[in-house]
Structure 1
Amino acid sequence: MIKYFTLLSILFISVTTLQAQKKSDLLIEIQNLKAAKDSINNLYVVSKKRETVSKTEADSYKTQVDELLVTNNSLMENINNFTKASIEKSENIGKTLESLQDKEAKLKVINDKFSSHDSIALAILTDLKKSLGENSTINVANGAVTISLNEATRNGLTSKSAVEKSATESMLTQITNVLKRYKDATITVEGVTNTGEFDVALNLATVLANKLQKQYSISNARLVATTKDGGFTEGLNIRISPKFDAFYFLVREQIKENN
């Protein structure tokens, strides 16, 4: 009997000990599970925070990318506008340069014509000085060469004296030899009066013009007889002018084109 009781006691103690141990193990397992849960919760919280941060950063990056796209589009538009403006400016500069070159060429033509007329006038003056001598009264004004005939030469035009006529004809021969070298030049015979007797002065100019035509074979198309008031002087001039009519029309047309 005692033996059975002892066995039962041992069995009870064993069962009780076993239950206590299982309970202890269960508590430990519960604690472990709770710790694992807490760890998982912590990881979840951290993960959520990281997700929030990542989303915020992603939104920030997207905003920056959008801003960069806007800036880039604006920059490209500015570059395109600048390129277009540069091309237009280059084209305008090219047209301006072409226009300037065209005007420069036209001005060169005019300048060359001026130089040509000046050169002709200088050549006529030089030839007359050689023929008539340095003491002859010759001057250049407004592109024309003017010979002022002295009184003896003027008187010889209408004088009956053979000596006076011969001296005048000698002078006119020297002058007309030069005139024949410059066939395009216009010759104006100008009577100068200081008394207001323009008819007398014009008559003398006409006499000389006729003599130049008939006796010295100067073309009538080149000759013009005229008169002017000389103030306190009188005389008779031969004015030789390079042909200005074609030059005048050239300059007029150039001015019209430039306007």
Structure 2
Amino acid sequence: MKRILPLLVLCIVSSSSVFGQKKSELLTKIEVLKFERDSVKALVADAERNERLSTARAKSLQSQVTELQDANASLLKNLNSFATVSTKNSENVNLAMASLQVKEAQLKGINDAIAKNDSTAIVVLTNAKQALGEDAKIGVSNGAVLISTDLTSLFGSDSETTISTEAEPWIQQIGQILKLNPEMAVTIEGLSMTGDLNLPAQQSAAVGSALQKLEIDPDRITTLGKDGNLKEGIVIKIHPKYDDFYMMVKENMKNGN
């Protein structure tokens, strides 16, 4: 019994020592596990925080991307609108330039016709002065050459309607001027200072008839009586054929359009 008791005590002491050692090891492991747990929690917390930051950054970047996309879309729309407006403006400019060229061509045609008539009037004026002399009553007005004579020189008196023999050479000279300028027309005005237009109309008609006898086309001749505003006599106007001139201008305008 005495020998068993010490052994029993030794066993108990040994067991207590082993148990204490194991407990210490367990406590150490617990501390390690707690540390590892805390470390993992810290890592998880960091990860969650980083995730939140990343999510916020992603949302911010997405918002910026959306804004940039909207801005680009708006810019593209504005560029398209600008391109459309520029195209329309360019088309309008081209149309305006084309219209201006047409108008310039029309104006040139009219100016050329007027210049041609003015040039012809100078030729007629030269022919008239050569035929009738420098002392003849010759003038130019509105592109027409005016040749004037008094009634006595032409009819012998202011009341006659038959051309005198002495005036026939003068009539022949007028006919020669008209033959030299076949593209021109002639208007014969009988001027009255009394208001009676019948007599001057007859006198102008007599001159027209005399010119027809000289083979001047009657379609070129117009005769009329006119109030002379206190003047009387015969005025012969050699001028362009206004109907032809008008038709030429009208045709130029038509072709220009």
* 1:84-99 to 2 correspondences below 5 Å: 84-99=84-99
Task: Normalising by structure 1, report the TM-score.
Answer: 0.81
CA distance in 2 between counterparts of 1:75 and 1:247 reads: 59
Identity level (%): 38
Output the aligned Cα RMSD.
3.1
* 1:85-234 to 2 correspondences below 5 Å: 85-150=85-150, 153-155=153-155, 158-159=163-164, 165=166, 168-214=167-213, 216-234=214-232
CA distance in 2 between counterparts of 1:104 and 1:190 reads: 37
1:69 paired with 2:69, answer yes
CA distance in 2 between counterparts of 1:247 and 1:222 reads: 14
Is the Cα–Cα contact under 8 Å of residues 153 and 171 in structure 1 kept in the other structure?
no
C-alpha displacement of 1:68: 2.5
Tell me, what secondary structure is at the counterpart of 2:216? Answer: coil
**Partner letter of residue 128 of structure 1?**
A
* 1:217-256 to 2 correspondences below 5 Å: 217-252=215-250
Deviates more, 1:149-158 or 1:124-133: 149-158
Tell me, what secondary structure is at the counterpart of 1:231? Answer: coil
In structure 2, the residue matched to 1:38 is: 38
Deviation readout 1:81-122 (Å, 9 max, x if unpaired): 332333333333333332332232222222222222222222
C-alpha displacement of 1:37: 0.7
In structure 1, the residue matched to 2:80 is: 80
In structure 1, the residue matched to 2:28 is: 28
**Partner letter of residue 65 of structure 2?**
V
C-alpha displacement of 1:14: 5.0
**Partner letter of residue 135 of structure 2?**
N
Task: Normalising by structure 2, report the TM-score.
Answer: 0.82
Structure 2: which 5+ runs fail to align?
157-161
C-alpha displacement of 1:240: 0.6
Structure 1: which 5+ runs fail to align?
none
CA distance in 2 between counterparts of 1:152 and 1:128 reads: 21
Tell me, what secondary structure is at the counterpart of 1:80? Answer: helix
Is the Cα–Cα contact under 8 Å of residues 150 and 232 in structure 2 kept in the other structure?
no
C-alpha displacement of 1:197: 4.0
Q: What is the aligned residue count?
A: 252
**Partner letter of residue 224 of structure 2?**
T
CA distance in 1 between counterparts of 2:97 and 2:201 reads: 54
